[in-house]
Amino acid sequence: MNKTNYNEIISQLQKELNSECAIANNYGIILSSKIKEFSQGKIIPHKILSLISNSQDIAKELNLKKINSFAVEAEKNNYLFTFNEELILISKLGLDVNLAIFMPSIKLFLDKFCEESKEYEIKEFSIFDFSKEIKNMEESLSKAKIEDKKYSVIKDLVNYISSL
């Protein structure tokens, strides 16, 4: 099983995109972060998660196929939330960054990352033969019973001597 090193991914993203980033699972738990406001182990605020989970409904109301991301402008920074079914990527950007240029590259990264991580998933499971395992268990139990009977005389003798 492949364990993803989210800290390494965030470090690389920070170098490539020249912005602080955080990555969370679809439940909103921050898996790794370079953003102080979204530190590792914390949960994305409920109202933001609600907006992400309702993005498909919002898209339908706006006659759109899909909403992939949204930006929140704060006093000193923009926070870009890019998401898919599996992950949420948060980018902290300066107010001077052109989001129209930045957003497609971050979306492409997220899609590519999720696609690559799916390659490591188990796609087929072998069929488990329960009857074979039960037969093996029965054989080992019968051997244990035979061995138990084999030494029963000695056990009785030891019990008799110890009771004297």
* 15 shares a domain with 57: yes
The domain total for the chain is 2
* 75 shares a domain with 155: no
Q: Is residue 53 part of a domain?
A: yes
Instruction: Specify whether the CB–CB gap between 31 and 41 falls below 8 A.
Output: no
Q: What is the CATH number of the domain that holds 54?
A: 3.30.450.30
Q: Is residue 135 part of a domain?
A: yes
* 146 shares a domain with 109: no
Q: How are beta strands 30-33 and 20-25 bridged, if at all?
A: antiparallel
* 136 shares a domain with 111: no
* 90 shares a domain with 153: no
Q: Other CB atoms closer than 10 Å to residue 17's CB: what's the count?
A: 16
* 139 shares a domain with 114: no
Q: pLDDT per residue over 95-146, tens digit each?
A: 888 777 777 777 777 777 766 655 545 455 566 666 777 787 788 777 766 6
- With tokens 């409904």, the residue in question is 57
- With tokens 């949960």, the residue in question is 43
Residue 3 identity:
K
Look up residue 43 and give its DSSP letter: B
Q: pLDDT per residue over 5-57, tens digit each?
A: 888 888 888 887 788 999 999 899 999 999 999 999 999 999 999 999 999 99
Q: Other CB atoms closer than 10 Å to residue 109's CB: what's the count?
A: 18
- Identify the pLDDT of residue 42: 93
Q: Is residue 35 part of a domain?
A: yes
* 141 shares a domain with 69: no
CA–CA distance, 149 with 152 (Å, rounded to integer): 5
pTM over 0.75: no
pLDDT band at 1 (very low <50, low <70, confident <90, very high): very low
Q: Is residue 124 part of a domain?
A: no
Q: Is residue 125 part of a domain?
A: no
* 158 shares a domain with 85: no
Torsion (CA) 78, 35, 69, 115 in degrees, nearest 10: 150
